Amino acid sequence: MKKLLISTVMFFAMLGCSLKSTIRDTAQDITNNTVAMLDDAIDKITQESESWQATLHELAENLTDEAQSTIRNEVQNLANRTIAAAGSELRCNVDFLGARVVQALQRIKAEVLKKPIPARNPAICQVVPSAIDMNLMPSRRNKVDISGYDFDNQSLKLYLVTNTNQKLDVTHALNRLSHYHLVLNLGSNGVLLNNASKHLILEYKNNAMSSIAITQPVVPDCKEEEVSFSPDVVTYMPPRTRGDRDYGGNGPSVTSNVKIYVDNNTIKAKVKMLARETKSDWTTAEGESVFTIYTAPSSRRIVSIVSDNETSTNYLDSNHAEDFFETGSGELIKRFAFVGDTAGDEAGTRTRVKVTFNRVRVKLKEIGNCNE
């Protein structure tokens, strides 16, 4: 009886080991079969990208074993995601979709083999428009569509880079419509672009996925032009600086100088006059004064004075009348008119110079919306 009991125990022990081995072998066969079907699908799609849809359908149909049901569901989900990403409005090309399907099947294969599963990283297949044209009205450049794959559950970041390379986080303007469709909002509640905007960068895990150029309006070179003008007549009476106020018929000896120059965006004339008695107490009237004779338009900058910018003259006064001196068309001053000596006191009260200008020519340069 004891020998019978031992034999029975040994029989069931051997049967149990055999059953476990059979189950293990069966599971391994299913795994090998599944991996082989995955490898066949990967090879086929790698060689013919356009076959991805038919290949996935065939693969799902061949995964008939109950143990393969989970893998079959993953393949069917992959097919559905890829069909969505292939929509005509997004135009992901066949090669792109084939490559993404192959990567997804490799992840499924790693899962079956219980190996480390490669990361599922997002990818971009198309950006519309490919660049943002700031020449367009804001209403015609208010969004950017990005099509691709695996945008769901990913920490994507959007940055605006300025022309000084400042990097601003504008992720709030990134809208995820689906796992294959992103929209960048460039409207009033999105990314506010201006003439300092350089480009947008879409990043994943601190790596740039896409850089979208922002094309600023072409700025023309600032134009230069010459203009001429006729300044108003300028009169200057220098103050008395020496002696009494009466030249008393002793001259005076008169010198005058007029010079024009650019000051900010105006042209100014500095008028000097000296009238000195030739003897006695040397009665003198002497001084200078500055007059604004031209202001450039706000849209122009004065580059230089093209015509003559200085004229001088001198003479000895010998009467009580006003004295006139014509200089010529090439000079800054066309005519000097002097009052030197008079019948009475004059230094600081009557002695003066009046200048009439020839036309002054200046070079102006456009400012504002142009390239200096």
pTM across the whole model: 0.53
- pLDDT band at 167; cut points 50, 70, 90: very high
Q: What is the pLDDT of residue 88?
A: 41
Q: What is the pLDDT of residue 10?
A: 52
- What pLDDT digit, counting tens, does each position of 96-120 carry? 777 777 777 888 888 888 888 777 7
Please indicate, yes or no, if residue 291 is contained in any of the structural domains: yes
Q: Does one domain contain both 64 and 148?
A: no
Rounded average pLDDT over 9-14: 47
Q: What is the pLDDT of residue 54?
A: 87
Torsion angle defined by CA atoms of residues 32, 33, 37 and 42, in that order, rounded to the nearest 10 degrees: 0
Please indicate, yes or no, if residue 372 is contained in any of the structural domains: no
Rounded average pLDDT over 36-62: 82
Whether the per-residue pLDDT at 50 is higher than 90: the answer is no
Q: What is the pLDDT of residue 73?
A: 81
CATH of the domain at 163: 2.60.40
- pLDDT band at 160; cut points 50, 70, 90: very high
Please indicate, yes or no, if residue 11 is contained in any of the structural domains: no
Q: What is the pLDDT of residue 83?
A: 73
Please indicate, yes or no, if residue 6 is contained in any of the structural domains: no
| CA distances from residue 13 to 3, 16, 23, 24, 117 in whole angstroms, order as listed | 15, 5, 15, 16, 38
Exposure pattern of 244-274 as b/e (b: 16+ CB <10 Å)?
A: eebbeebbbbbbbbbbbebeeeebebebbbb
Please indicate, yes or no, if residue 193 is contained in any of the structural domains: yes
Q: Does one domain contain both 230 and 207?
A: no
Q: Does one domain contain both 233 and 349?
A: yes
Q: Does one domain contain both 297 and 258?
A: yes
Q: Does one domain contain both 322 and 355?
A: yes
Over pLDDT 70: what percentage of the chain?
90
Q: For the chain, what is the domain count? A: 3
Secondary structure string (H, E, C) spanning the chain: CHHHHHHHHHHHHHHHHHHHHHHHHHHHHHHHHHHHHHHHHHHHHHHCHHHHHHHHHHHHHHCCCHHHHHHHHHHHHHHHHHHHHCCCCCCCCHHHHHHHHHHHHHHHHHHHCCCCCCCCCCEEEEEECCEEECCCCHHHCCEEEEEEECCCCCCEEEEEEECCCCEEECHHHEEEEECCEEEEECCCCCCCCCCCEEEEEEEECCEEEEEEEEECCCCCECCEEEEEECCCCEEECCCEEECCCCCCCCCCEEEEEEEEEEECCEEEEEEEEEEECCCCCCCEEEEEEEEEEEECCCCEEEEEECCCCEEEEEEECCCCCCEEEECCCCCCEEEEEEECCCCCCCCCCCCEEEEEECCEEEEEEECCCCEC
Q: What is the pLDDT of residue 9?
A: 44
286, 272, 276: which is closest to 241 by C-alpha?
A: 286
- What pLDDT digit, counting tens, does each position of 199-212 carry? 999 999 999 999 99
Q: What's the token pair of residue 285? A: 């009237």
Whether the per-residue pLDDT at 12 is higher than 50: the answer is no
pLDDT higher at 338 or 372 = 338
Q: Does one domain contain both 359 and 229?
A: yes
> Residue 137's beta-bridge partner residues?
none
Query: How many residues does this entry show for the chain?
Result: 372
- What pLDDT digit, counting tens, does each position of 295-345 carry? 999 999 999 999 999 999 999 999 999 999 999 889 999 999 999 999 999
Q: What are phi and psi of 268, to 5 degrees?
A: -120, 150
Q: Does one domain contain both 261 and 166?
A: no
Q: Does one domain contain both 282 and 330?
A: yes
Rounded average pLDDT over 288-300: 97
Q: Does one domain contain both 139 and 240?
A: no
Give CA 295 to chain center in angstroms.
Answer: 33
Whether the per-residue pLDDT at 15 is higher than 70: the answer is no
Please indicate, yes or no, if residue 17 is contained in any of the structural domains: no
Domain limit, last residue, from 168, 192, 215: 215
- Please tell me the distance from the alpha carbon of residue 96 to that of residue 100, in angstroms, as a whole number: 6
Domain limit, last residue, from 195, 215, 235: 215
CB 280 within 8 A of CB 243: yes
Q: Among the ranges 47-51, 88-92, 131-135, 259-263, which has the highest mean pLDDT value? A: 259-263
pLDDT higher at 346 or 218 = 346
pLDDT higher at 75 or 339 = 339
Q: What is the pLDDT of residue 210?
A: 92
Q: Among the ranges 23-27, 99-103, 168-172, 217-221, which has the highest mean pLDDT value? A: 168-172
Strand 323-326 with 333-339, pairing = antiparallel
CB 116 within 8 A of CB 198: no
Whether the per-residue pLDDT at 42 is higher than 90: the answer is no
Q: Does one domain contain both 293 and 350?
A: yes
Q: Does one domain contain both 160 and 275?
A: no
Please indicate, yes or no, if residue 204 is contained in any of the structural domains: yes
pLDDT higher at 220 or 186 = 186
Whether the per-residue pLDDT at 75 is higher than 80: the answer is no
Rounded average pLDDT over 129-145: 91
Please indicate, yes or no, if residue 48 is contained in any of the structural domains: yes
Query: Taking all residues of the chain, what is their mean pLDDT, rounded to a whole number?
Result: 87
> What domain range is 229 assigned to?
224-366
Domain limit, last residue, from 85, 112, 139: 112
Q: What is the pLDDT of residue 23?
A: 45
CB 40 within 8 A of CB 51: no
Q: Does one domain contain both 195 and 306?
A: no
Q: What's the token pair of residue 305? A: 């004075």
Rounded average pLDDT over 149-160: 87
pLDDT higher at 4 or 26 = 26
* CB atoms near residue 354 (< 10 Å): 17
200, 198, 219: which is closest to 209 by C-alpha?
A: 200
Whether the per-residue pLDDT at 94 is higher than 70: the answer is yes
